[in-house]
Amino acid sequence: MTPSPTLAAVLALCSALGFAFSTSFQHLAAGRVQLTVTHPLLVLLQLLRSPRWLAGSTIGLAAWLLHAVALNLGTLSLVQPIILLGVVLAVVVRSSLERRLPQLTELAGVVVTIVSLMAVVSVADTSHQGRDAPTVAMLAVAATGVVIALAVTRLSNQLPRRGMAAFVLGMTAGMLFGITACLMKVVGTAMSDHGFPGFLGTWSPWVLLACALLAMSLNQRAYQLSRLSHSMPVLNVTSVLLSILLGSLLFDESLPTTPGALAIQAIGLVGIAWGLYRIADAGSRATVVTTD
């Protein structure tokens, strides 16, 4: 595809809106799965019976496709922070589903997150398209992510607090989502080179599917265990950080190099983490009050 940063940003914003609806529906459904179901894949199988979760997943699939196109029109450092706006937009969606007005702490989190996202994008590489990721390196990164995720799945069941387990699962799911974003760029290249359905004969869509399913199952398990504030902020920040880093290492995308740009990006990422925490914490507390 011909690079187009503007179109990539627009599609990323549309994708973020879809993810806002998807996340809200999925979290409400996952919170109703019995805690006796502990394995992430079994949690996912339980959720397949939920109409609300299926609706959220269908919307999420459409958002994912828009996300994939955006990644193949723009850089990871441009698209991935914009995708985080889905969390901000989810405040409005979740409030509507729960028939309540957003809380002041949620609104404060929204403002801080938006300003911080703008800061991160302002110093991001938006035009340099770099190179195709080396196959061996991409496969090694994906395999490492899967091994870590499987180890964390077992470890999380042994942790003494559900909040701690949700945090670890959220961070691991964020790692896998960051890897998945890179794989989406690889799949886009395969589609351009081999067409449809020729790209299905390459390795990339199947590795992408495996990583995406594992990331989704860990994410749903984290949703089931504890409130959003324990998993969602660390998931999203980890995903953005890793995808930007891998964009540089695998795709040769440029990173900020001046002290000023690095400071802006660091402050922006801290602001994003704080804003997401305020949004998730306020939303989780409101959900508890509503359901009780």
Query: Could you read off the pLDDT of 213-238 as tens digits, one per residue?
Result: 899 888 878 877 877 767 777 888 88
Q: What does the block give as tokens for 262? A: 């690095």
Q: How confident is the model at residue 138 (pLDDT cuts 50, 70, 90)?
A: very high
Q: Does pLDDT of 197 surpass 50?
A: yes
* Residue 138 near residue 200, CB atoms below 8 Å: no
Q: Does pLDDT of 286 surpass 60?
A: no
What percent of the chain lies above the pLDDT cut of 70? 90
Question: How much helix, strand and coil, in percent to the nearest 5, is found in the chain?
Answer: 80, 0, 20
What is the predicted pLDDT for the residue at 35?
67
Average pLDDT score, the chain: 82
Q: How confident is the model at residue 292 (pLDDT cuts 50, 70, 90)?
A: very low
Q: Using DSSP, state whether 129 is helix, strand or coil.
A: coil
Residue 16 region by backbone torsions, left for phi larger than 0, else alpha for psi between -120 and 50, else beta: alpha
Q: How confident is the model at residue 167 (pLDDT cuts 50, 70, 90)?
A: confident
Q: Using DSSP, state whether 131 is helix, strand or coil.
A: coil
Q: What is the mean pLDDT of residues 181-206?
A: 86
Q: Does pLDDT of 211 surpass 90?
A: yes
Q: Does pLDDT of 257 surpass 50?
A: yes
End-to-end, the C-alpha distance of the chain in Å comes to 50
* Residue 238 near residue 175, CB atoms below 8 Å: yes
User: CA separation (Å) from 196 to 73, 137, 185?
Assistant: 18, 25, 16
Least confident among 8-17, 65-74, 85-94, 192-201: 85-94
What is the predicted pLDDT for the residue at 288?
45
pTM, 2 dp: 0.76
Q: How confident is the model at residue 89 (pLDDT cuts 50, 70, 90)?
A: confident
How long, in residues, is the chain? 292
Give the separation between CA 220 and CA 228, rounded to whole angstroms. 11
What is the predicted pLDDT for the residue at 233?
78
3-state SS, one letter per residue, for 152-182 = HHHHHCCCCCHHHHHHHHHHHHHHHHHHHHH
Q: What is the mean pLDDT of residues 177-183?
A: 92
Q: Which long-range contacts (CB under 8 A, 24 or more apart) does 55-60 make?
A: 55/25, 56/21, 56/22, 56/23, 56/24, 56/25, 56/26, 56/29, 57/22, 57/26, 59/18, 59/21, 59/22, 59/25, 60/18, 60/19, 60/22, 60/23, 60/26
User: CA separation (Å) from 173 to 39, 44, 167, 176, 221?
Assistant: 14, 14, 10, 5, 10
Query: Could you read off the pLDDT of 32-66 as tens digits, one per residue?
Result: 777 667 676 777 787 887 888 888 889 988 998 89
Least confident among 39-53, 187-201, 205-219: 39-53
Give the separation between CA 28 and CA 142, rounded to whole angstroms. 30
Q: Does pLDDT of 94 surpass 60?
A: yes
